[in-house]
Structure 1
């Protein structure tokens, strides 16, 4: 039965059609809050409504509305962008004709010309000490929102951003995500250039030259931007299995995440063809639900609505985010990102990974005895950065299929030549086959139990094999919170804040003083503190009340790293100051 499902879906999955879907979606500059993002959603919806076997729904929310931790975002469209070096010689550094990433997303329009001042990271007032930036154009490589907030107070005329650590000719994707209120007072245009051009300007400054740059941005703000979430449901039953992908991000970029959203759309078409031709029957035990939304800003209101208004129950989710890359070009590995161990659920996870591995195993061993996985593949502990984060906050066990690292990530060089449609197909078919097997009861209980037991043993052993020897020794001596007697009067912490991702923009709004912000930024500069502070610890405390020593145990168990209790205590104090957690005395 396993092979039959995989074979059937593979036969009806068209690589040619996948490429056509990608070619259409890549034309839209799918920035959050843009009209092109709405057009992309209309295209996805129209393709789904042409299918025969799916129930298609559109959920519409407003970018102008607060959703728990996520603030409103101004509607924004880009028409033109030019960045030109005027002196000491004339040269177009970048333009919308080369890439629409040339304009920082949500930048105000403007036409400015001025001398360039390099401020390094540019996120703190100290970076501007002894620098005259008034009526000048600032060149920086720090977080654009923080740089914009700090430097706008100093009379800056314009912003030029670049990114360190990326390919030198790549123009980066950067954004401001301004609220409508912030957009009303924002007057300074912001553009991006490649690292090569940025270093050239810095070199001029070091030689005593005064480079002059002109920034021309034709963009417009509007307040009625829509968040469109498209849902396509197959089958019957109260319980739902979700496969989802975000369809936002800039025009011309492919792997993040046209690869996931297009593969999901072609997978829906594959199911529709197979059912229409009688090669498969619609699931009767559970529904398979495919969902497309803007990243975070769509998944949060969708799940707030879905979990409060619907009688159905979402039991498992799969996030497709960057899934069809040529590994030999991007340098990536297919990562299966698991839910955190404290959620302690592996039933559907094990089945999905079994089918995915089978779909990715093309070749055989030297003696032709066993199949070999034909791509770089790994199974990893929970990591954040995409919509599975939101599903997990609603206690829905979800995994992410993701290719990482990617040397072209969030740049204009994330282009169609890096796409591997065969790999995208194999991932899509593997996931679709697993969801169908689960929703149709194709596997008897004994086989399911065998898969689950094998997977639990594998995860337990494989996770520990990645830890260093000293960590294994520490784990052996650490006492699990589940087996520990609770002492009366002991202090624990629980999450009481809203759902959503704790971004630097949110942190900035929660900070009551500049010094408080400086302290937080200093704390978050230390890896992996930022991820623990913004993702892991809030999620952990959403699911259970824990003391600092218990939080330390879970971090060590999950990631094999030793974070001292003083650092954890500092993070807890900050979250407490932000009124996101509260102290509980047992």
Structure 2
């Protein structure tokens, strides 16, 4: 009972709510965030299949530009801090041509209705796919139940269409070598539930400038074509229209100048490319409304951020990485980064929940208890990759406060990577991802505006802005509150891991291994507490340092109690 009694004493009074530095910002963001604006922008962007440089991508950038201009941001001429609110559109020549789909249709000769068409399945055309001759191409289709290169080489495929229940990328080299004119494929992961969502197709891509076209099939279309092929000779007419042309890549960056330390900043990023509504038109729309509201509050003198706030829209990972790495002096003063990706989910329709993907902490290595990876998949995180920082707990607690206020479900997942938060982390900058998963419509052409919730975008926008405003003007009171929060969160985590390790030892796991897990968690929180020292804009006393020392001591003391109990 020793450990449990000590734990209870340490947590006496934790549930009592006290006024926090974020409360005033919550009032402003809850009142000011217009979810209709976010939804309207999302609806505009989702109309397009967006690839860097193409019509839809550029139209989306210009739409955001108009929002910024109306909100009071002025176009940057000399430098980003020449006015309190500035924006710029960065233009770069593209090494490769851009691409956009126009239309496509597959007909089984002898049937009255198309097997599948672009009008219902715009993801059927892989990125970089070329066009068929005007009027389409008619040819026999060869169904390959198994992909065996040696067997395929024996077949007469010249001038024919290959069909397989596999990703067409596996067949493309074989098709080109054999003289086939096209490839039809199918590739849907289990979490999309294709047997239920039979019209879904996940978008894909193919090698540019290929002599062989490829198309993707939905589960329903795949089954219908398979049945036709198994009955006997099947002939298809395939018509594909795409555009491939030189263009320039656009990135839009908006800045709100900090009043005291303008070079220190918080950076929000939302990628524009991809064809979905939630992925990632919702991120574009939410971030645009966040920028509009920030300008409104700034001009009304309701907020005066002491550090700068940056909003960035561009090509996923590419634009964010470039923003960080092309200016090393700027990068040194980026204190926080956050990616908004798939933030508009109507979870009643898509499944899953809102998630904060944490910076690498020990749960990415030892994923147990309530921690779990999403179907997206775990990253390969080692102890050397851990990133102790208060940012994880700070953002999670802000979101939990909004969740309690709005009856909104907030969860988290261990680090996995794959979005705009990764360039921050790769450059030793604290970075988090706000997203949703599992989404049964992820990357599919059923990710449309009817799956988007304006309320979800509002909750995320409120949480993200409240956190950013709090950090940008953090003082010693903010830092002290963060230390207390971190200590409490750390003690809760240690207790959780202690109970899990006791159970693991009882099931035969080595004691030394379980103690090591506890020690790594303890060190992570102690090291994370140390990062709070840089949080205040101005250091006026030694109060923050003293509170960090005391909290670290409490973490260490409780760790030793738990270690002594593990036998």
TM-score class normalised by the smaller sequence: 0.7 to 0.9
Residue among 12, 31, 36 paired with 1:11 = 31
8 Å CA contact 2:116–2:221 kept in 1: the answer is no
8 Å CA contact 2:126–2:206 kept in 1: the answer is no
> Is 1:98 the equivalent of 2:120?
yes
> Is 1:112 the equivalent of 2:148?
no
Q: Normalization by structure 1: what TM-score?
A: 0.71
| 2: CA distance, partners of 1:274 / 1:130 | 70
> Is 1:230 the equivalent of 2:252?
yes
Residue among 182, 185, 188 paired with 1:161 = 185
Q: Does the C-alpha gap of structure 1 residues 177 and 210 become closer, same or farther in structure 2, counting only changes over 3 Å? A: closer
> Is 1:297 the equivalent of 2:297?
no
Q: Normalization by structure 2: what TM-score?
A: 0.73
> Is 1:287 the equivalent of 2:287?
no
Structure 1: gaps of 5 or more residues: 65-72, 364-372, 485-586
Q: Does the C-alpha gap of structure 1 residues 319 and 119 become closer, same or farther in structure 2, counting only changes over 3 Å? A: farther
| 1: CA distance, partners of 2:174 / 2:359 | 37
Q: Does the C-alpha gap of structure 1 residues 301 and 138 become closer, same or farther in structure 2, counting only changes over 3 Å? A: farther
| 2: CA distance, partners of 1:461 / 1:129 | 61
Corresponding residue for residue 94 of structure 2:
63
> Is 1:418 the equivalent of 2:457?
no
What is the deviation of 1:259? 1.1
8 Å CA contact 2:97–2:245 kept in 1: the answer is yes
Corresponding residue for residue 523 of structure 1:
none
Q: Does the C-alpha gap of structure 1 residues 319 and 14 become closer, same or farther in structure 2, counting only changes over 3 Å? A: same
Residue among 93, 103, 125 paired with 1:80 = 103
8 Å CA contact 1:117–1:139 kept in 2: the answer is yes
What is the deviation of 1:21? 1.0
Which protein is bigger by CA-based radius of gyration? 2
Structure 2: gaps of 5 or more residues: 1-20, 73-83, 362-384, 521-567
8 Å CA contact 2:41–2:284 kept in 1: the answer is no
Residue among 202, 211, 221 paired with 2:234 = 211
Corresponding residue for residue 323 of structure 1:
343
| 1: CA distance, partners of 2:317 / 2:511 | 34
Corresponding residue for residue 134 of structure 1:
158
Q: Does the C-alpha gap of structure 1 residues 33 and 213 become closer, same or farther in structure 2, counting only changes over 3 Å? A: farther
Residue among 392, 395, 419 paired with 1:349 = 392
| 2: CA distance, partners of 1:318 / 1:475 | 38
| 2: CA distance, partners of 1:191 / 1:389 | 31
Q: Does the C-alpha gap of structure 1 residues 312 and 104 become closer, same or farther in structure 2, counting only changes over 3 Å? A: same
Residue among 473, 480, 490 paired with 1:446 = 480
Residue among 395, 398, 408 paired with 1:374 = 408
| 2: CA distance, partners of 1:4 / 1:380 | 29
Root mean square deviation, CA, Å: 3.0
Q: Does the C-alpha gap of structure 1 residues 226 and 461 become closer, same or farther in structure 2, counting only changes over 3 Å? A: farther
Q: How does 1:159-308 map to 2 (within 5 A)?
A: 159-164=183-188, 165=190, 166=192, 167=194, 168-176=197-205, 178=207, 182-183=208-209, 186-207=210-231, 209-223=232-246, 225-236=247-258, 237=261, 238-250=263-275, 253-278=276-301, 280-284=302-306, 286-306=307-327, 308=328
